[in-house]
Structure 1
Amino acid sequence: MYTPDAVTETEWQRAHEDLIAKEKELTRAQDRLAAERRRQPGYRIGGDHVFEGPGGEYSLTDLFEGRRQLIVYHFMLAPGSDHQCEGCSMFVDNLGHPEHLNARDTTLAVVSRAPYPEIAAVRERMGWTVPWYSSFGGRFNEDMGVTVDGGENFGLSVFIRDGSSVYRTYFTQGRGVEKLGTNWSLLDLTPLGRQELWEDSPEGVPRSEPYAWWRLHGEYGD
């Protein structure tokens, strides 16, 4: 059984400070990358994508729920499959309360190829409340590159809306999804970011003081 080396408190403090310095540099590098990501161009999503959810049919614009930004997690759930992806399930288990994203004009949704009744059964079994839609019968998964030659992949896409026009600005998959799950990390993927004054953001992005917009969920309307 592995156990870290035993050292004096002074030796531990020295090693700890060295490690913290590296962690801080990584944080600054991640901030620079997020600033570059906010400036990444987007391409307009073509086609008339239709989804099924608890209220019937939805367009891609409907999934925004009236907000400017949409984050979609592509959950691996194929039509008729009796396998529920453990990794996708772990990701959804780690999602925070949606009100914090909503307060930054951002909606989070899950999309799978399985018909909606199959999705609803999994959602109920797992006790999830995140919006989850079916793209069954359409080309959304193929167009997003997560269904290839009939095989299912997972991933995460970011979209921004300009009126009725929708643009895809970011996509990640594989280990790029592992570090996500907090509201901060998800907002860092979007064109508008956290919308705080300290961020290096393009002209026109809304800004506010850090921490000032934070609320307990349920208190954003106060």
Structure 2
Amino acid sequence: MKTPPIVSPADWEAARQDLLVREKELTRARDAMAAARRRMPWLAVEKEYAFDTPRGRMSLPDLFEGRRQLVVYRAFYEPGVYGWPDHACRGCSLVTADQIGHVAHLHARDTTLVFASRAPQADIERLKARMGWRMPWVTMLDDFDADFGVDEWHGTNAFIREGDRVFRTYFVNGRGDEALGSTFSYLDITALGRQEDWEDSPEGYPQTPPYVWWNWHDEYSDAGPAEGWLEKVAEAEGTLTSVRSKPTHDDCCH
């Protein structure tokens, strides 16, 4: 193994600062890509689909659970998958299922996350218990997977609901699924994004200041963020404002 050179603290910091410039460029490029996703055309979903769930038979609109957006990850778990019935696909298990953050944060942004497979509910519930997974996981009963590009392997579809109508807004598969799992990675592939006011979104899209909506996953409620947290946010923003005219989102995160 040919290792990099060993340098002084000053040289190490200089190298880090050089790399940070490129990292900021990458972060802004990701932000620009997410902004382009928010401008993707929508595809109307005219066909009806059915899913078996722990609460009984549900339609695609039902999976939204009253929220405006829905993200569906097609996990490869069914007869014929290596490890069946004790395990789902190793890739799905490692790359996505084991990386899932708490779904309460997505719910706070009016977004529902659901896993979908062809395995029966009894097998899915047993697998979730064994692996310690808590995300909603439904059973596909028709051509949903084939119609949305995931009749084999894995892939992630994003949908939005306008009244009684459902629209497909985005799709990613292959290595694109590798980056998913965190709250922001899912929000960045949705039509509405993170819904924070620093984002480049079309006029009229719902947006709130960053940080203000964040909460512990067991304390989200209609009451809004705690006053103490708002004071901390205001204090941080005041510190940034004293340094530059207007704080920006990448002041703290590249």
Class of the TM-score when normalised by the shorter of the 2 chains: over 0.9
Alignment of 1:140 with 2:144, yes or no, is: yes
Matches within 5 A, 1:3-82: 3-79=3-79, 81=81, 82=84
Whether the aligned pair in 2 keeps the contact of 1:49 and 1:140 (CA below 8 Å) is yes
Return the offset for 1:76.
Answer: 0.5
Q: Deviations over 1:66-100 (max 9, x none)?
A: 00000111100124641521111121111111111
Residue 209 of structure 1 aligns with which residue?
209
Aligned sequence identity (%)? 52
Residue 89 of structure 1 aligns with which residue?
93
Larger radius of gyration: 2
Whether the aligned pair in 2 keeps the contact of 1:80 and 1:114 (CA below 8 Å) is no
What is the number of equivalent residue pairs in this alignment?
A: 217
Whether the aligned pair in 2 keeps the contact of 1:77 and 1:114 (CA below 8 Å) is yes
State how far apart, in whole Å, the 2-side matches of 1:2 and 1:76 are: 39
* TM-score with structure 1 setting the length: 0.93
Return the offset for 1:164.
Answer: 1.8
Which residue of the other structure, out of 101, 105, 112, is the alignment partner of 1:100? 105
Residue 168 of structure 1 aligns with which residue?
168
SS in 1 for 2:145: helix
State how far apart, in whole Å, the 2-side matches of 1:111 and 1:174 are: 17
Whether the aligned pair in 2 keeps the contact of 1:79 and 1:115 (CA below 8 Å) is no
SS in 1 for 2:27: helix
State how far apart, in whole Å, the 1-side matches of 2:72 and 2:138 are: 10
CA spacing shift, 1:36–1:127, aligned 2, 3 Å:
same
Return the offset for 1:3.
Answer: 3.7
Alignment of 1:154 with 2:158, yes or no, is: no
More helix by share: 2
Whether the aligned pair in 2 keeps the contact of 1:156 and 1:171 (CA below 8 Å) is yes
Whether the aligned pair in 2 keeps the contact of 1:113 and 1:141 (CA below 8 Å) is no
Q: Deviations over 1:107-148 (max 9, x none)?
A: 000001122222222122212111000003x0001101111x
CA RMSD of aligned residues (A): 1.4
Return the offset for 1:4.
Answer: 3.2
State how far apart, in whole Å, the 2-side matches of 1:181 and 1:129 are: 13
Return the offset for 1:2.
Answer: 5.2
Gaps of 5+ in 2: 224-254
Return the offset for 1:46.
Answer: 2.4
Q: Deviations over 1:174-205 (max 9, x none)?
A: 11111121101110111111111111101121
Gaps of 5+ in 1: none
* TM-score with structure 2 setting the length: 0.82
Whether the aligned pair in 2 keeps the contact of 1:154 and 1:173 (CA below 8 Å) is yes
State how far apart, in whole Å, the 2-side matches of 1:134 and 1:48 are: 15
